[in-house]
Each structure stands twice: as structure tokens, then as C-alpha cells.
Structure 1
Amino acid sequence: MKMGWHDSEEIAILLLEKHPNLDPLTVRFTDLHKMVTELPGFEDDPKKSNEAILEAIQMAWHEEYQDAQG
């Protein structure tokens, strides 16, 4: 599955699967950027991200993380 910066829900699910015990709110945007670009299927231009996009991904990941914590 090909993904880009605006696929925040899909990215969030993959990040949760890869890092199930990591609280997304503790991840710096520079680290989040690297984590996203290293996901399998991510094919967007790394330079096309910005703070708003990374924040949307982080919030989607946080929602998935909270759901998984029960």
C-alpha cells in the first residue's frame, strides 16, 4: 500500500504496530518525520511535510495509542 503525508490514519496505525509502547506525545517532530519516512509503503517526498502534517499524524497516532491502552 502506497502512503503519503496526508494518510495520517494509515500512518498512525503502522506507527502503533511498530512502536506499541511508545507514547506518541513524547516523540519530537524530527524523530516522527524519520519514523514516518522509514515506514514500508511510504513513498511521498520527505521534504513535503510540515509542522501541521506531523501534528496531524501525531494526534492520529495518539488516538490509536489511547484506544490500544484501553
Structure 2
Amino acid sequence: MSLNWDQPREIGELLFEKYDTLDPLKVRFTDMHKWILDLEDFVGEPSKSNEKVLEAIQMAWYEEWKDEYGD
């Protein structure tokens, strides 16, 4: 399975699996961008992301985190 920027839910779930104790709302976009690029199945071009895309991924990750740890 390959991942690209248009799959925020899947990316968010993977970030939660890898960084499950981090509150996604406290993660800097620059860090999150790097972590996404480092995901094993991620094939997207680094320059194709933008704030809107990163926010969607952050919210998907937050939903997973919130289900586990509450808010």
C-alpha cells in the first residue's frame, strides 16, 4: 500500500500508531511533515503538502488520539 497527501485518515492513523502518546495538537507542522515523509509506505512529493493538507492529517491523528486518551 502506498500513501500520498490525499489520504489524511490513513496517514493520521499511522502517525497515531507511531507517536501514540503525543498530543497531535501540540506537534509542529514542520515535525509532522518530516514524520510523514519518513513513513515506510509514503510516496508523496515533499513539496506537494500545504497547511490545509497538514491540518487534515493532524485532525485525523487527533481523532485517533482523542479516542484513546480523551481531551
Identity within the alignment, %: 54
Cα distance, 1:6 vs structure 2: 1.1
Aligned counterparts, 1:23-38, within 5 A: 23-38=23-38
Residue in 1 aligned with 2:39?
39
Cα RMSD of the aligned pairs, angstroms, is 0.8
Q: How many residues are paired up?
A: 70
**TM-score normalized by the length of structure 2:** 0.94
Runs ≥4 residues deviating over 6 A: none
Aligned counterparts, 1:41-56, within 5 A: 41-56=41-56
SS at match of 2:56: helix
Q: Could you list the runs of 5+ residues in structure 1 that have no partner in the other structure?
A: none
